[in-house]
Amino acid sequence: TFRDTVLIVAFCQRLCLDVFGMLDYLQTVLPPADGTFINGFDRWIGAFTTDPEECQCLFESRIPVWLIWKPDRVPADMKVIKEVEV
């Protein structure tokens, strides 16, 4: 039972460190970006994917992402900023 207790305590410590690390990351204030900004909608920049879950994660991370799918297969709850016909 001692080994089981050690495993449970180690698992709890790992979970707590993950949570504290995530909270620390969310509270980190990033300095505003400076320089010349380019409108990305006129150019093909960003990540290309065929996975809607990966697309949503990248979008929520503020990474420009292009979902390569047929329009009728795009989930209804997915936010589409611009549709491009290829």
Residues whose CB is less than 8 angstroms from the CB of residue 69 and which lie 6 or more positions away in sequence, other chains included: 50, 52
pTM of the entire predicted model:
0.41
40-58 tens-digit pLDDT: 556 666 788 888 888 888 8
Annotated domain spans of the chain:
1-30, 37-85
pLDDT digits (tens, 9 = 90+) for 2-37: 888 888 899 899 998 888 888 887 787 777 767 776
Q: Is 55 in a helix, a strand, or coil?
A: helix
> According to the model, what pLDDT value does residue 13 have?
92
